[in-house]
Amino acid sequence: MSLPLDTLNALREIKDNPNAIPMSMPPSFYKDENVLPLEVDEVFIKGWMCVGRAEEVPEVGDYFALDLLGEPIIVTRNDDNEVVVLSNVCRHRGSQLLSGRGNNKRITCPYHRWSYDHNGKLLAAPLVDQTPGFDKKRCHLPKFNTHVWYGWVFVNLSGTAGKFEDSVVGVDQYVKNYHPEELKSVEPTTEYWPLNWKCLAENFMEGYHLTPVHMKTLHPMTPTRLCEKVPGGAGYTGYRARYNESFEGRTEVHPDMLEEERRQSMMVWIYPGFVVALSPNSAVYMSITPEGPTDLQVRWDVIARAETFDSGEAKKRFDFAASFNVEDRERLMDVQKGLSSRYADRGYLAPADLEGTVWDFYQYMSEKLL
Ligand code: FES
Ligand SMILES: [Fe+2]
């Protein structure tokens, strides 16, 4: 499997000359079926992916099941009160173990009733324990490396990613005063969009489109002209979406927040697929993974300060995010169609404050894919 020549050449150029005139990647980067397997192996499986919030499994035995890159996964909480991420595939003959959300004392396979504890250890295998040579220890569910970052649960499926913290050195300065670890989930939502995953991630993380696409929704609050990029790191980038002077702001804030932080949404992208807009009383996040060259899964939610739930403010934030997601989706479907044109080509990116995050992301991709 090799990368299409124009994508390969563009990535080489970006890697060799980070100071080149910033251009968008060729259309093949966003649609060619040879790009995806490499991205899945090199960027997603070997990287860190967000599966949701630790507070979605608050009690021992709480769980939810999800598919990530087609892999059935369980997120649960063990007796030591740790969040655990396991393969959701039975070690007997491959049945999926759990679906949906719930709480259980042990994980029991619906097929032949093998059961496992919340660390994936096999507890019982009815009658098979009489099979000569049966070795319980060889029937552990694969348990993946996890890291909880400000309440978000990240998983590395390959076991080779290195420490999560090492990939995001320097990002805390942008995040910590918002205290996202204290925020509460409104409504974890999973959607499937017929788009290349990078189109959505790049769109979430560039401020250039805020005014034209979100004229009535986001523009009155965070207009394009006030966006300001911040320096990124090996595994992340970000920008400040500053509030318009006429926007009154949000009042339910953490006391640690600086005046500047109360007057902006801090946009952070943890590569490859986690993006978040941290605002003073809440945050919108998305965890984006590919489902195909032009199909993605997005697990997204609004998390908000506890005091915003009774007043209905938290739900309002969710509905607001859903409304600008619709605006983005409509525009991006149009982009995907345009990228399939034989006349589509690379284009000039806007100045760094507006699209520098996209350029940072390209550099990360060139490091990983070449
Ligand atoms: S497949 Fe799970 S017990 Fe048989
Ligand atoms: Fe948008």
**Domains of the chain, earliest start first:** 5-48+166-369 (3.90.380.10), 51-160 (2.102.10.10)
Q: How far is the CA of 65 from the centre of ligand 1 (A)?
A: 17
| Banded pLDDT at 239 (limits 50, 70, 90) | very high
Q: Are 238 and 356 in contact (CB under 8 A)?
A: no
Pocket of ligand 1 (CB under 6 A): 90, 92-95, 109, 111-112, 114
Biggest CA–CA distance in the chain, Å, is 76
Q: Does residue 234 carry a pLDDT above 80? A: yes
Write the residue with the smallest CA distance to atom 4 of ligand 1: 112
Q: Which atom of ligand 1 is nearest to the CA of 114?
A: 3
CB atoms within 5 A of ion ligand 2 belong to 328
Q: Tell me the average pLDDT across 143-164.
A: 98
Q: What is the mean pLDDT of residues 187-206?
A: 98
Q: For residue 1, what pLDDT is reported?
A: 65
**Selected residue with higher pLDDT from 1 and 49:** 49
Measured in Å, residue 106 CA sits from the centre of ligand 1 at 14
pLDDT tens, residue by residue, 98-142: 999 999 999 999 999 999 999 999 999 999 989 999 999 999 999
pLDDT at residue 214 greater than cutoff 70: yes
Placement of tokens 């919030």 in the chain: 53
Sequential DSSP letters for 162-178: --HHHHTTT-HHHHGGG
Output the average pLDDT for the chain. 97
The torsion angles phi and psi of 18, rounded to 5 degrees, stand at -60, -20
pLDDT tens digits for range 157-194:
999 999 999 999 999 999 999 999 999 999 999 999 99
Query: Does residue 319 have a pLDDT over 80?
Result: yes
CA dist 52 → 18, 76, 341, 354 (Å): 33, 11, 36, 28
- Provide, rounded to the nearest whole percent, the portion of the chain with pLDDT above 70: 100
pLDDT at residue 53 greater than cutoff 90: yes
